[in-house]
Amino acid sequence: MSEKKGKEMEATWKKYLRKETLPLPFCPGCGHGIVLSAILRAIEASGIDIKDMLFVSGIGCAGWIPSPHIRADTMHVTHGRPIAFATGAKLFNPRLKVMVVSGDGDLASIGGNHLIHAARRDIDMVVVCANNEIYGMTGGQVSPTTGLGVKTTTTLAGNIEPPLDLCKLVEAAGASYVARSTVFHLEHLISLLKRALNLKGFSFIDALSPCPTQYGRRNLYASAAEQLKDLEKRCILLQEASAAPPETLKDKVIIGEFVLRDSKQ
């Protein structure tokens, strides 16, 4: 990183983070800190005043991404319910820019119904799923986004259930904006977040974020860096995927913008 870029980033951190809450609580190699960085850099690029924002998160490691670290209003609420709290806050004060940041377990398992119906109602909020494809905080149980064959504490011989594609789910439900990226593809992730922040309606971003502690170790990644690099191997950009023969996409995760609708709100 250049010295100039480093200084810019430091200024962003100082502006948006509560210094007294640092260091972040994440394990070494966890992607959730990168998700936080991407969110803050997208806010800076979008021109939105963070004082007009509310961040809502549920329970899990991902729940600690906004709260208490971001220097703004944050609500750290019950497991599976951040979208419900965010909906209430948005109804109370429609001028608020509301962002939910939580995990795949929180948003898609216990909170799955809230996700579906907020997308169906096209409620004006940005939902960021820090998707590590496992329940990180509680010891590494299988989640709705865990891939086939993946070893977790509850699937010791490998997961036999197919994963849920959260982007397809919210697209079918009616979301205005649906996109996916990863913490490996940082600039791409920032651009999606920036786009979502400037839209109205229900925006959903699936942000793949590795969990070296619960997922990586059990699935024999040599290091956190190797797990991060694996995101590069597993993912393909939507534009490339559209031109590729379908049989080559079998084990691929498609990243990009899947839905970009003008919301009626």
Ligand X SMILES: Cc1ncc(C[n+]2csc(CCOP(=O)(O)OP(=O)(O)O)c2C)c(N)n1
Of 124 and 206, which CB lies nearer to ligand X in the complex structure?
206
CA distances from 121 to 64, 113, 170 (A): 27, 12, 11
Give the tokens for residue 221.
């990644």
Cα 265 from Cα 210, distance rounded (Å)? 35
Helix/strand/coil (H/E/C) assignment for every residue in 75-109: EECCCCCHHHHHHHHHHHCCCCEEEEEEEHHHHHH
Residue 146: CB atoms within 10 A of its CB come to 27
Residue 82 binds ligand X, judged by CB under 6 A: no
Taking CA 205 as the corner, what is the angle to CA 5 and CA 194, rounded to the nearest 5 degrees?
Answer: 40
Residue 206 binds ligand X, judged by CB under 6 A: no
Binding residues for ligand X, rule CB under 6 A, total 18
Of 84 and 122, which CB lies nearer to ligand X in the complex structure?
84
Of 69 and 195, which CB lies nearer to ligand X in the complex structure?
69
Of 108 and 119, which CB lies nearer to ligand X in the complex structure?
108
- Contacting ligand X (CB under 6 A), which of 33, 66, 103, 256? 103
- Contacting ligand X (CB under 6 A), which of 17, 38, 61, 190? 61
| Closest residue to ligand X, based on beta-carbon distance | 103
Interacting span for ligand X (CB under 6 A) from 2-10, 100-108, 120-128, 171-179? 100-108
Cα 75 from Cα 54, distance rounded (Å)? 8
- Contacting ligand X (CB under 6 A), which of 136, 163, 201, 210? 136
Interacting span for ligand X (CB under 6 A) from 8-16, 102-110, 173-181, 231-239? 102-110
Q: Where are the beta strands (DSSP E) in 134-192?
A: 177-182
| Residue partners of 30: CB distance under 8 A and separation at least 6 | 61, 132, 136, 209, 210, 211, 212, 213, 224
Question: How far apart are CB 230 and ligand X at their closest, in Å?
Answer: 17
| Residue partners of 226: CB distance under 8 A and separation at least 6 | 216
Of 126 and 137, which CB lies nearer to ligand X in the complex structure?
137
Question: How far apart are CB 20 and ligand X at their closest, in Å?
Answer: 23
Interacting span for ligand X (CB under 6 A) from 43-51, 55-63, 186-194, 254-262? 55-63
Question: How far apart are CB 100 and ligand X at their closest, in Å?
Answer: 12
Which residues are near ligand X by CB under 6 A? 59-62, 79, 103-106, 110, 130, 132, 134-138, 143
